[in-house]
Amino acid sequence: MAEVPDSYRGRLAQYRILEESRHALIEELLDKLEKTEAKLQQTELDLQSEQNVRRRLQSEVVESTEREAALVERTSRRPYAMVLIEADPDGFMFLDKYTTKGTKGGEALADELSARLQEYFRPLYDDADKLDLLVRVYANLEGMANAMVREGKVRNLGQLRAFATGFCARVPGFDWIDVGVGKEGGAGRKIRENLTLSTSHLQCRHLILATTPGSVPATFFASLSSTPLTLLDHPSFKPLALPNPTTILPSIFLAPPPPRPSRNGRPQLQLASKEEGRDGSTWLVIRPERSKSQGARSRSRRGGGSDDEDSALSISIGPDNTVSVGRDGPNGRKRILN
């Protein structure tokens, strides 16, 4: 126990020491209090800042979720599958039971194609029945009609146009596009543009392509996005060398006829086109092929012969199905059969 001084001055000195110690303690406590208050204030600012960041992140998450939900709703609103077909006698040609029946044949083809497509998509998508089917058929209708007229399948271009009209009118999403004659504005360029456009649409679930490597080369597919793409295989057509799956739509396409070999070395018929008449219309000309050796033998047997003797017998078919039979050459004679 501390000894208490006897004198008043000693006791006063002791009180002063105690008072100074008490003031020093108070100063120390006040200093610590000020520092603690400063840290508390900074902590409150940091907490408020964190709360602001959290609120902003929560708001962004809510907005992102809403945008994602809106995107899902928009993409699921009208999903569709795009089918691009290049109709050509050397590639994909529809069966005669459709093309030769005019409007009724076009309607029957649309029904059959729709059924086969739905049958193909049903195992792939749960909502396959809700998929809109968009079919674009690109063809040179006049060239196709000329080929079918030669084979005796249709009478004229009008019969084939009726078939195309029936195909378009049967299903709203089915279209037949006549690309006319010419490679630059033909089916290949249009198909490539439609492929690029469709792969950029979120609503496009699937693509089906029926064409030849000449129209859509294998290198073109590297520029497309990840939209599923199926190539239509063909019984007599080698599919593109791509990792894409292939499928066959039965009861739709006709196998193109194989090339006819010559028999016993005899010449085959040669097809050509030329302008005849005052209106400059294009006629299909059918004549036998003749080699130079055959022409030389013919002239030698006839003692040199004339141009008329050396000319070939030809059959010409006009745009209105007018038939002209005669010989080619400057002195050739022709007879027009109506």
Domain ranges of the chain: 77-254, 269-337
pLDDT at 90: 75
More confidently predicted of 229 and 6: 229
Whole-angstrom distance, CA of residue 187 vs CA of residue 178:
9
Burial class (CB in 10 A: 0-12, 13-18, 19+), 190: middle
Whole-angstrom distance, CA of residue 221 vs CA of residue 199:
11
Average of per-residue pLDDT values in the chain: 77
Distances (CA, A) of 222 to 83, 84, 146, 206: 19, 18, 36, 17
Closest to 334 in 3D by CA, of 324, 322, 321, 320:
324
Residue 3 has pLDDT above 60, yes or no: yes
pLDDT digits (tens, 9 = 90+) for 230-275: 988 765 566 566 677 888 887 888 765 555 554 454 545 554 545 4
Q: What average pLDDT does this structure show over 304-329?
A: 55
User: If you count them, how many residues does the chain have?
Assistant: 338
Closest to 338 in 3D by CA, of 326, 251, 325:
325
Whole-angstrom distance, CA of residue 144 vs CA of residue 201:
32
Distances (CA, A) of 144 to 86, 158, 180, 260, 277: 12, 12, 10, 19, 23
pLDDT digits (tens, 9 = 90+) for 49-95: 999 988 889 888 888 887 777 766 665 678 899 999 999 877 788 99
pLDDT at 5: 67
